[in-house]
Structure 1
Amino acid sequence: MKRIIITSLIGITTMTTTALTLPLLSQQSYTQTADSQAEKLDSSQTEKLEQLIKTALQQMGQYQHQKSIETFQQALAIARKIKDRKKEADANFGLGFNYNSIGKPQEALNFYNEALPILQELGDRSGEAVTLNSIGAVYDNIGKPQKALEYYQQALPIRREVGDRSGVAAALNNIGGVYRNIGKPQKALEYYQQALSIVREVNNRSGTASILNNIAAVYGSIGKPQKALEYFEQALPIWKEVEDRSGVATTLNNIGGVYDNIGKPQKALEYFEQALPIMREMKNRSGVATTLNNIGGVYGSIGKPQKALEYY
C-alpha cells in the first residue's frame, strides 16, 4: 500500500508577501510645512493613513485577519479620499492577502485586481510582479492551473527585469508546481532546478530546502524512489539548521513514505515515528492524522493488524 506523502510547497511558494510588510508599501515620513488649515488637515489624514496601514500589517502578522481587513478598509477609504494612489494599492493588496488567508479566494482576487492597474499606472514594477504572483497563487489554490500559469508567467520577466532574484526563484518554483499538478513532471523538474540554482546562489536556506523537497516529490511520483530519497535527505538537515519544525516533520514523513514504498517497513517506521511527535507539538492535526495513518499502514503490511488498529 502506497503511503501518503505530504508534499512541500512551503516557504518559497508563498513568497507573495511577508507576514509583517507589504512589498508594495512605501515608507515615508511626512512633515507639516505649511500653516494653512487645508494642508494641516491633509497632513493629519496622511498620518492617520500611515498609522492605519502600520496597524493593519501588525494585525496581519499576528494572524488577526478579520481585524486587519477592517483596518485596511478604513485605510482604503482615506487613501481614496486624499487621492493617494500608492496607499490605495497597498490597502487593496493587504485586503487581498487577508481574504486569501481566510479562505475567500474570490474576494482576494477582487482586491488584487483593484491593486494591479494602480501599480501599473504608477510604474511600480516590483509591486506589479508581486501582485501578479499573488493572483496566480489564488488560481493555483482553487484548482485553475492554466490561469495560475498565465499570471506566474507574467510575473517572471518582471522579476528578472527588476533584478529580484528571490522573486525569480519564487516564480520559477510556482510554475514548476503548476506543471507538476497537471501531470508534466519533466517540465516541473526543469523549473524547479532553475529555482534551486537561484536560491542556492542567494543563500536562501529555507527556499533551498523547500525546492529540494518539491523535486523529491516529483521523483517519487514518477517511480524514482532513490532520486526522491536523495533530495529529501538533502532537505532534512537544512530544515533542522533553520529550525523549521514543519519542514522537518514533513520531510521525515516523506522519507518514511519512500522507504515504505520500496519495501523497507522498519526504516519507514523509524522516520514516521520521528515525525509524529513534532506534528503533535505543532498541533498540526492533519499532519498527525496522516502520520498515524502511515504508521498504521506499515504495521498492517507487516502482519500486525492489532498494532495497526492502535494507529488508525
Structure 2
Amino acid sequence: MTEFLFPDMPIEELLAKAKSLLHVDFSQALKISLSAAQRALQEHNNQHYASAMLYAGTSAFHQGDLLSAEKYLTQALNHFQHKHKSDEQIDALITIGHIYRDQGKYDYAHGMFTHALYLSREHQNPEMEADALNGLAGIYHYQGDYQKSIEALEIALPIRERLGNPAKTAAVLNNLGQSYTQLGEYFESLMYLTKGHQIISQTQHEPRIEGASLVSIGNLYKDLGDYDESLKFFKEAISVGERGKTPIITAVATENLGEVLRLRGHTREALDALQKSLDLSRKLGYQPGVINSLISMANVYHWQGNHKLALTTFRDALTLSRQTNHREGEIDALIGVGKQLLAARKGHEALDYLNQALQLAEDSKRKKSIASIHSCLAECYEILGNPRAALEHFKTFHKIDQELKSEEGERRSRYLKMRFDLERSEQRAEMYRMQNETNELARKAAEALVHERTQELEQAQVEIVTRLAIAAESRDDVTGAHTWRVGRNAAMLAQEIGLPREEVEIIRLAARLHDVGKIGIPDSILMKHGVLTPEEYEHMKTHTIIGGRILSGGKSRLLQLAQEIAVSHHERWDGRGYPFGLLGETIPLSGRIVAVADVFDALTHRRPYKQAWSLKNALEELERHSGTHFDPRIVQAALKVFNTLKIVTEDAPEL
C-alpha cells in the first residue's frame, strides 16, 4: 500500500492519530491510515484493518477521490461484518452512502443509509441516527421528493441541536434550506440557511460544510432573481473549495456560477465556467455535477439558437439522469428536449417528452416547472392544429403564473426581512472573526477596528434596504426620488423644531425607508389609476406593518427609528389614522415629522392618479389639516421651511 509511517508507534496510537486528523488534515490522515492498514494486515488484525480502511475512506471522500474512497470503505465493511464494531460500521455505511449518492447510485445509497439508520437505532446511537437521516434526506431531495426530505431532516435537527455539534447542525439546516428553495418556500428556506450560515461563520467547520452553505444561499438568491448577490456567494464557495481542497464544492459552485452567468446573458463566460465544472465533475465521478453542467450548457446553446447541439446535450443529460434516477435533472432535461423539438416544429415528438416532464414535475410539486411545461404544451398543440387543447394548456399556464405572481408581494417582504437578518448574521460573524484574532497588546486597536467595521456593515444594511425601498417606490413615482426627498424634508422639519444635529441626520436616513413595505403591495393596487376599492385600500394600508416587519430587530438607533417611522407615518393627530389609530403625542415624533414630509412631497409631485400641486396650494393644504391630520407644531415648521423650497423632481442625487 504505502511506506510505514511512525514505525515505532503502537498501531492503536497510530489509528488514534489518524482519527484525530480527520476533518483537520485529510491528506495526512490518509497517509497514516494506509500505513496503519498495512501494519494491521501484517499483524492479521481484522479489527484494526477495518478501522484503518474507514479512516482512509473518509479522508479520500473528503478529498474528492470517490473511487478510492469506495474501495477503502468496502474493505472496511467486509471486515466489520466479521468483528461487528457497531459505531465504526455505521460510520462506514453512512460515508459510503454519501459516495454512492455523489456517484448517482441512489438505490445503493438509500440501502446504505437505511441500514445505518436501523443499526444506529438498535444500538441507541443518536449521533449516527441523525447522520443517517441527513443522508436519506439527500437521496429524497435528488429524487424530487422534497417533502420526504424535509420530514427526515426535521427528525434529525433536534437530535443534532441536543448533541451540540455546531457543524453538523449547520449541515442539517443547510439541507432544509435547499429543500424549501426547491418548493418555492423562500421565507422558510432563508430562515434555515441564515441560521446555518451564522453557525458556520462562528465555529470551526469543514470546508465542505461551509462551501455547501454558500452554494445553497447563492441558489436561493438565484431563484429570487438577485444575480449579483448569488454570484458573490458562488465565488466565495469556489474560493472555499479551492482553499479547503474539496473539489466537489469547487465543481458545484462553478456550475452554479456558470448558470447565473447564462441567466445574465454572458454566454461565453458561462460556457467557460460550465466546461470547467463538467470536466471536474467527470474527473471526480460526481454525477449530479455532470448532469447539471450538461443541462446548463444545453440552455446556453438553446439561447444561442443552436438547437441541434442543445438537443444532443439535453439528451445526454436525460440519459444520465435516468441511469442515476436523478429526478430534478430528468425533469429539466425532458423540458429541454421538448423545447428543442418544438423549435424544429416536431409537435408529436415534443408532446411525448413534455407529458413525461409534466407527470414528474407534478409529483415533485415544482410549480415553476409545471407552469413552464403547460406553456410549452400550449405551443405544441398549436403546432399540431388543436387550438382547443392549446387554449386549455394556456389557461392552466396563466392560472399558475398568476398564482406565482400573487405570492410575489409576501414573498418579497419575507425575503427582505430574512435578507436583512442574513446581513446582520454576516456582521456578527465578521466581528467574531476579528475579535478572535486580537490579543491583549492589540485589544484597544482591534476594538476600534471592530467598531468601525460595525458601522460600515450597518451602513451596508441601510443601503440594501434603501435600494429596495427605492425599487418599491419607483413603481408609483415618476423619478424614483421620492424616498430621497422625504428624507430631506424630514431633516429640515426636525432641524426647525430644534432636534439635535445627530438626531436630524439619523432622521434624514431613516425617513428614506418609510415606504419600504410597499415592496409587498401588488402593482395592480400600487399603480392603479383611479380610486382604490375598500378592499384594495385595506391591502394598501398593510404596507406599514410589512415595513415594520422588514426593519424589525435592528440594534442601532438608525434602524430602530426607521422601523418606528415605517409603522407610524400614516397615523393622524386626531386618532383616525392607521395601523393603530394612535392619538396626538402618543404618535412617535418621528412618525409625525415624516407624515408631513411625505404628504408634502406627494402633493408637489405627479402621481399616476394626480398632477403635481403648486407650492402655494400644497402649503395651504397642510395648514388646512393642522390639528386633524397633522401635529400643529410640525405644520408651523413646514410653513416656515418649505415656503421658499424649490420644487424640482429631478433634484435627487444618484443613490
In 2, the alpha carbon distance for the partners of 1:98 and 1:56 equals 12
Question: 1:185 Cα deviation (Å)?
Answer: 2.0
Deviations 1:165-197 (A, max 9, x none): 322211110111221222322221110011111
**Residue 117, structure 1, aligned to residue 201, structure 2:** yes
Partner-residue secondary structure (3-state), 2:245:
coil
Identify the residue that residue 280 of structure 1 maps to in structure 2.
Answer: 359
Deviations 1:123-176 (A, max 9, x none): 633333233323323333333222222222122133223433322211110111
Deviations 1:71-115 (A, max 9, x none): 524542552xxxxxxx12221331243245333133123212222
Question: 1:68 Cα deviation (Å)?
Answer: 3.6
Contact 2:149-2:179 at 8 Å conserved across structures: no
In 2, the alpha carbon distance for the partners of 1:135 and 1:311 equals 34
Q: 1:143 to 1:223 in 2, by over 3 A?
A: same
In 2, the alpha carbon distance for the partners of 1:254 and 1:56 equals 33
**Residue 106, structure 1, aligned to residue 190, structure 2:** yes
Identify the residue that residue 271 of structure 2 maps to in structure 1.
Answer: 189
In 2, the alpha carbon distance for the partners of 1:59 and 1:158 equals 26
**Residue 65, structure 1, aligned to residue 150, structure 2:** yes
Partner-residue secondary structure (3-state), 1:183:
coil
What does 1:1-312 correspond to in 2, within 5 Å? Answer: 50=127, 53-54=130-131, 57=134, 60=137, 63=148, 65=150, 68-69=153-154, 72-73=157-158, 75-79=160-164, 87-102=165-180, 103=185, 104-119=188-203, 122=204, 124-244=206-326, 246-261=328-343, 264-265=344-345, 267-277=346-356, 279-280=358-359, 283-284=363-364, 286=367, 287=369, 290-301=372-383, 303-309=385-391, 311-312=393-394
Q: Which letter maps to 2:260?
A: V
Q: 1:50 to 1:297 in 2, by over 3 A?
A: same
Contact 2:166-2:200 at 8 Å conserved across structures: no
Structure 2, unmatched stretches of 5+, are: 1-61, 63-85, 89-123, 141-147, 395-655
In 1, the alpha carbon distance for the partners of 2:160 and 2:330 equals 39
The higher-RCO structure (CA 8 Å, 6+ apart) is 1
In 2, the alpha carbon distance for the partners of 1:154 and 1:48 equals 35
In 1, the alpha carbon distance for the partners of 2:255 and 2:318 equals 19
Question: 1:219 Cα deviation (Å)?
Answer: 1.7
Contact 1:56-1:69 at 8 Å conserved across structures: no
Q: 1:159 to 1:273 in 2, by over 3 A?
A: same
Identify the residue that residue 36 of structure 1 maps to in structure 2.
Answer: none
Contact 2:219-2:230 at 8 Å conserved across structures: yes
Contact 1:52-1:71 at 8 Å conserved across structures: yes
In 2, the alpha carbon distance for the partners of 1:175 and 1:245 equals 22
Aligned Cα root-mean-square deviation (Å): 3.3
In 2, the alpha carbon distance for the partners of 1:48 and 1:115 equals 24
Question: 1:231 Cα deviation (Å)?
Answer: 1.9
In 1, the alpha carbon distance for the partners of 2:152 and 2:323 equals 34
> How many residues get paired?
258
Structure 1, unmatched stretches of 5+, are: 1-22, 31-46, 80-86
Q: 1:168 to 1:295 in 2, by over 3 A?
A: same
Q: Identity over aligned residues, as a percent?
A: 20
In 2, the alpha carbon distance for the partners of 1:140 and 1:48 equals 38
In 1, the alpha carbon distance for the partners of 2:340 and 2:224 equals 28
Q: Highest Rg: 1 or 2?
A: 2
